Amino acid sequence: MPMKSKKIKKRIYIILLIASISMLVALAATGIALYLNRFTHFYRWLLLAIVTVMVMLIVILGLGIAATVLTLWHVKSFFGLQRLIDFSINLLFPLTLALGRLFHIPKDIIKSSYIEVNNNLVKSKNYKVNPEEVLLLAPHCLQRWDCPHKITANVSNCRRCGRCDIDKLIGVAEAKGVRLAIATGGTLARKIVMEFRPKAIVAIACERDLSEGILDTNPIPVLGILNIRPEGPCINTRVDIKKVEEALDFFLDYDLTMATVKKGS
């Protein structure tokens, strides 16, 4: 049996977002203090322009973070705020990682928390997607490293022997009527998304690939599922199939799903 993945709390990323805003406020306050000092006329105006832009950015980001917290708190989306939320949490993502290093918080924990925040924001909305427009994207490390039947180019190369979770993923994809693709990394994953042009994605990967993928594919809704690594990263990894099914069920319109399955049978 695969090891259980550790639950990461979304509050970690929210706290880092608030800390990021606080740091920007401190910088703006420092700029105001410098403006009030005896600078020459030119530099006073230049500093005023910089501080004004910073204050405007802080207001926008602050509203975005407030909207994020409200959405997570009420578990429902508020009309017209999604772009503001996406802009705020995505723009501040590098800054949260930098603050994490400052406070000795491992990057994987921050990224896991970011993925948890993203998943909760996605689930706050009501999606009804045709199964053919949903992409199930999985990493090649789910396949046994010694398997001779490589599936990156073509998933149908899998012999369905059951030694790894690829067999189960194929079964789930067939049952739900969604498309399954295997990627060797972020570059290929982005290429697959560009080719398929899905309306929703269920992605399985490690913290780094998932967080980068969510940022890259925005505004396509992505539910991220962390892989399980009983033998370490990038080799013979596993996935919780139940979580995959639940993520797919969230996106799917079952009237369309049943029609697709009947059409294929």
Per-residue pLDDT tens for 17-47?
999 999 999 988 888 877 777 566 667 777 7
What number of CA atoms fall less than 13 Å from residue 196's CA on the CB side?
A: 24
Contact criterion met (CB below 8 Å) for 61 and 21:
yes
181: left (phi over 0), alpha (psi -120 to 50) or beta: beta
Nearest CA to 240 out of 251, 250, 249, 229 is that of 229
Low-confidence residues of the chain: pLDDT under 70: 1-8, 38-42, 75-80, 254-265
> Length of the chain, please?
265
What are the φ and ψ backbone dihedral angles of 144, each rounded to 5 degrees? -55, 135
Tell me the H-state helices in the chain.
11-36, 41-74, 82-91, 93-102, 107-123, 166-176, 186-196, 207-217, 241-251, 254-264
Query: So what's the pLDDT on residue 8?
Result: 63
Query: So what's the pLDDT on residue 255?
Result: 56
Domains and CATH numbers, the chain: 11-123 (no CATH), 131-264 (3.40.50)
Contact criterion met (CB below 8 Å) for 47 and 39:
yes
